[in-house]
Amino acid sequence: MSAPPILEVRGTDVFYGASQILFGIDLAVARGQTMALLGRNGAGKSTTFKAIAGIAPPRRGQVLLSGAPVSGRPPYLVARAGIGYVPEDRQVFPEHTVEDNLVVGAKAGPRGDRHWTTARVYEVFPLLAGMRHRMAGRLSGGEQQMLTIARTLMGNPDILLLDEPSEGLAPIIVRAIGDLIRTLREMGVTILIAEQNMHFCLGVATHATVIDKGQVVYSAGIDELRGNDAILQRYLAV
């Protein structure tokens, strides 16, 4: 039997009060994939991430990590189980140095592994190495985005969830974030990215799932999506 996906979301419904936001979301990310979760503004991408991270617990359905259910657990236990969630609003500790921000995020992974150290982070994120003693609050938006990704990796997660990593950043910085994601992918890191920026995703992802009005409408390899004009135009307004 083949290994279960690293992350699986099964038949998940999420409500905010009386409003239903997600309708039976199914999603699977296999080891080593970079899955893009695509959809228009308000489609439900961030809510899907919050459901996975335990912040917006599903009313129905399940979230499984390597086949084991994690839904129903509070966010800190979901993180400890191996889900590294980087929310939309890059939350650095502004009055602390880059290095202190990294050290705060350090913990062993779910099987006691410590692949990610500050030394390894500085190899993969050379920009941060040159800024290690700078206050995080003085960094640009793109540098803060890199720092939050690096800090999350310091927790040695099994999967990295990036919510809109390109949002609000200048094109040159978006390219740098794209290069970084490709590097992580080549290192074997499993990644799920929520994005509105379709072109960014076509350049970094291996697979894509498209959601619209809280439902999955398409899921395929990235090359198949690239060739599917009907989906691109209908749901992604390309």
From the CB of 227, what's the least distance to ligand ATP, in Å?
Answer: 24
Q: Is 36 in the site for ligand ATP (CB under 6 A)?
A: no
Eight-class DSSP state of 142: H
**Contact residue for ligand ATP among 9, 35, 39, 54 (CB under 6 A):** 39
Considering only the C-alpha atoms of the chain, give the largest distance between any 2 of them, rounded to a whole number of Å. Answer: 50
Q: Which of residues 184-203 bind ligand ATP (CB under 6 A)?
A: 196
Q: Is 47 in the site for ligand ATP (CB under 6 A)?
A: yes
Q: Is 21 in the site for ligand ATP (CB under 6 A)?
A: yes
From the CB of 67, what's the least distance to ligand ATP, in Å?
Answer: 26
Q: Please check whether residue 156 is in contact with residue 114, taking contact to mean a CB–CB distance below 8 angstroms.
A: yes
Q: Smaller CB distance to ligand ATP: residue 2 or 19?
A: 19
Q: Smaller CB distance to ligand ATP: residue 100 or 212?
A: 212
Q: Please check whether residue 128 is in contact with residue 147, taking contact to mean a CB–CB distance below 8 angstroms.
A: yes
Q: Is 165 in the site for ligand ATP (CB under 6 A)?
A: no
Size of residue set near ligand ATP by CB under 6 A:
12
Q: How far apart are CA 59 and CA 62, in angstroms?
A: 9
Spatial CA neighbour of 33 closest among 177, 237, 219, 174: 219
Q: How far apart are CA 162 and CA 160, in angstroms?
A: 6
From the CB of 82, what's the least distance to ligand ATP, in Å?
Answer: 23
From the CB of 211, what's the least distance to ligand ATP, in Å?
Answer: 7
From the CB of 71, what's the least distance to ligand ATP, in Å?
Answer: 17
Q: Is 44 in the site for ligand ATP (CB under 6 A)?
A: yes
Eight-class DSSP state of 3: P
Of the listed pieces 42-50, 76-84, 144-152, 174-182, which binds ligand ATP according to CB under 6 A?
A: 42-50
Q: Smaller CB distance to ligand ATP: residue 46 or 144?
A: 46
Eight-class DSSP state of 64: E
From the CB of 112, what's the least distance to ligand ATP, in Å?
Answer: 34
- Three-state DSSP at 56 gives coil
Q: Residue 126: is it exposed, middle or buried by C-beta count within 10 angstroms (0-12/13-18/19+)?
A: exposed
Q: Across-strand partners of 27? A: 9
Q: How far apart are CA 151 and CA 145, in angstroms?
A: 10
Q: How far apart are CA 16 and CA 232, in angstroms?
A: 29
Q: How far apart are CA 75 and CA 45, in angstroms?
A: 18
Of the listed pieces 43-51, 94-102, 172-180, 215-223, which binds ligand ATP according to CB under 6 A?
A: 43-51
Q: What are the residues binding ligand ATP (CB under 6 A)?
A: 16, 19, 21, 39, 41-47, 196
